[in-house]
Amino acid sequence: MRKILLVLPILAAVIFLSGCGTSSSTNSSVNLMPAATVIRSDDGGTTWNPKIKVDDKKTIAGIDILSMVINPNYPNIIYIGTEANGLFVTKDSGETWQNIVFANKVYGLIFDPENPDIMYGSGVFNKRAKIYKRIQENQEWKEVYTEPAEGTTITALAIDKTNSQILYAGTSEGVIIKTTDGGLTWVNLRKAAGPVVNIVFDVANSAHIFFGVFQKGVIETKDGGINVEDITKKIDPIKNTTTIYTVIADPYLPGVIYVGTENGIFRREGNGMWNELNIIESSKSFPTRVILINPKNSKEIMYSSAKAIYKSVDGGVKWSTFQLDTAKEISVLRYDPMDSAKIYAGLRKF
C-alpha cells in the first residue's frame, strides 16, 4: 500500500480558513447560524446550534460537507468530509475542528466496526479517485484503491458489520466493487445506470444489500453481489417514481428500507411490499436528500427537505418541523451512537 502524500489540499484549507472564517469567538449561536456548515441538537431535534469553530479567529463556515462519521466507541470524535477542503475532525463533539491531511471530495468515511482505530475514506487526490485506509488514530493514511483515470469520484463506501474485511464501494460512473480482505484486492460486481450514492445492509443479513443509484433507482442483491436485481419499478408503480436521492435501512426490522425521492418517501416492508410514507405534502415539492432512523427506536424518523427538518416519533403518522435559518441545506444527518438525543447535521450547497 502506498502512503498518502498530500501537500496542496492542506495548503488550500489553511488559506481558506484564514481568509473566509468568521472572525470572533464572541459571536452568538444565532449570528453564526446563517453560516453554519455543522449543526448539533442536544434535545432530539427540537433545537439546533451551529458548531463551526476552529479557534478564536477561524471557522469552517465556507465548506460544503459531503460525509460524516462518528466513532462508535468515542462519539465525541467525529470526522467530516468536504467537497473541496479535505477532511476535518473534532474530538469534543463539534466544539472545535481541525484539518487533517487528506484528499478532496470526501464522499466516503467509515470506521471498522470491530476495531474503530481502523478507518477508511474515499477522496480525490491529483484528480484521481482513491480509497484510503488508516490503521490507528493520528497515523498516516495509505492508499488501497485507485481509479485508472481522472474524472471519477468514489461516491459511496460501506463496510460489513459482521465481517470488517468486506467493503463495498460505488463510483460516480456507477461501478460497484468489493473487497474481502480489507482493501488488498478488489473485484468488480456491476455497473449501475448512474452514480452510486448509498450502499446499505439489511440488518438481519449482511449479504442482503441495497444500492441507491442517484436519480435512477435502487438495485438489490441477496448474496453479496453475485446476483443483482433492479427493484426500482416496484417502488411506486402508480407514479413510476425513479428519481432516487437516498436510501437507508431500518436498524431493527429485517428487509425494511426507506427511499427518498423527488416527490416523497417510500418504505419497503420485510415482505417486499412498498408503501408511500405520509409526509408533509409541501415537503414533497423538494427532493428528500436525507433520511435518518433512530438506531435505538425504529419509530423515530427524520428527514430534510429544502430549508426544514422533519421528525416523527410514531413511524411517520405525525411530524414536527424545524426551520433551517442557514444558507445551505442538509447533506447528512447522524445520531450520536450512545445518546440518541444528540444529533448532528452537515450542510452543503446543492
Looking at the domain assignment, is residue 64 inside a domain? yes
Cell numbers given for 139 = 497515523
Domains held by the chain: number: 1
Q: Can you tell me the distance from the alpha carbon of 77 to that of 95, in angstroms, rounded to the nearest whole number?
A: 11
Tally of CB atoms within 10 A around 335: 25
Model-level pTM? 0.91
Average pLDDT across the chain, whole number: 91
Looking at the domain assignment, is residue 28 inside a domain? no
Looking at the domain assignment, is residue 309 inside a domain? yes
Please list the residues that pair with 70 across neighbouring strands. Answer: 78
Looking at the domain assignment, is residue 313 inside a domain? yes
Looking at the domain assignment, is residue 27 inside a domain? no
Provide the CATH number for the domain around residue 157: 2.130.10.10
Read off φ and ψ for residue 337, nearest 5 degrees. Answer: -65, -15
Note the pLDDT tens digit of each residue in 93-138.
Answer: 999 999 998 999 999 999 999 999 999 999 999 999 999 999 987 7
Per-residue pLDDT band at 13 (split at 50, 70, 90): very low
Looking at the domain assignment, is residue 331 inside a domain? yes
Note the pLDDT tens digit of each residue in 269-328.
Answer: 999 999 999 999 999 999 999 999 999 999 999 999 999 999 999 999 999 999 999 999
The DSSP-derived string for 149-217 is: STT--EEEEEE-TT-TT-EEEEETT-EEEEESSTTSS-EEEEE-SS-EEEEEEETTEEEEEEEEETTTE
CB 335 within 8 A of CB 78: no
Q: Which domain holds residue 255?
A: 2-22+35-348
Looking at the domain assignment, is residue 74 inside a domain? yes
Looking at the domain assignment, is residue 88 inside a domain? yes
